Structure 1
């Protein structure tokens, strides 16, 4: 679990943030998805992965992300398009408090595999030995 600030490049034409897998993000990016149009007060995520690492960036608007390793919970405020949050495998993640204009980009280290998900919090605690 860590926040990474990326350098903003640009000029009078606009801003640019470049993110490269295995350089700016500590894994090869195998899947990309984004969340937008969320409902007020409805959280997303609320699961963990056995293997998958994720890297989250609020490209527009903002949201909060609470990461829980079974021993401690930390809530991060993602509100700048050059700030990314690394979520390791075996960390429970909940995205919440989305602004109406939020677009949350997620880069994942693995292809989608339903068997990689831990969707029950009590099962997660057993897996991490908490």
Structure 2
């Protein structure tokens, strides 16, 4: 499992005529123990969330319902991931600028991270992020 680059992770999918079930756990799917869980919902049309990087925090994001795009930047290149399946999520290592956008109606983004909230871990200025990332 690559812990240095963002990548999609397929989650187990247990099919059942009564309803399907998916899950993630450490260390089988996630490369980190979960310290914090939060979710984003009721995002008005055209709004974006995120627009920051973390100095140390790693995250795993799943679209539990609906769809949205995650745009990542490593300081030089931009990558876009579209999430729309509740059995697939995006692993994001530390020091990637991220923006969540293009939310569909009733979308629900679940985010788990390896750290508790720490305002000092956020990098909220893109130019400062590029300087930190590229030296």
Task: Normalising by structure 2, report the TM-score.
Answer: 0.93
**Matched residue, 1:67:** 72
State which of 54, 61, 73 in structure 1 corresponds to 2:59. Answer: 54
**Residue 45 of structure 2: SS of its match in structure 1?**
coil
Q: How does 1:35-54 map to 2 (within 5 A)?
A: 35-54=40-59
State which of 110, 116, 119 in structure 1 corresponds to 2:115. Answer: 110
Distance in structure 2 (CA, Å) of the matches to 1:13 and 1:91: 39
**Matched residue, 1:17:** 22
4+ residue segments displaced more than 3 Å: none
- Work out whether 1:8 is the aligned partner of 2:13: yes
Distance in structure 2 (CA, Å) of the matches to 1:21 and 1:116: 23
**Residue 123 of structure 1: SS of its match in structure 2?**
helix
Could you say what the CA RMSD is over the residues aligned between the two structures, in angstroms? 0.9
Task: Normalising by structure 1, report the TM-score.
Answer: 0.97
The answer for unaligned runs of 5 or more in structure 1 is none
**Matched residue, 2:3:** none
Distance in structure 2 (CA, Å) of the matches to 1:110 and 1:23: 19
Distance in structure 1 (CA, Å) of the matches to 2:125 and 2:52: 7
More moved, 5-14 vs 80-89: 5-14
Shift of 1:10: 3.0
Distance in structure 1 (CA, Å) of the matches to 2:97 and 2:90: 14
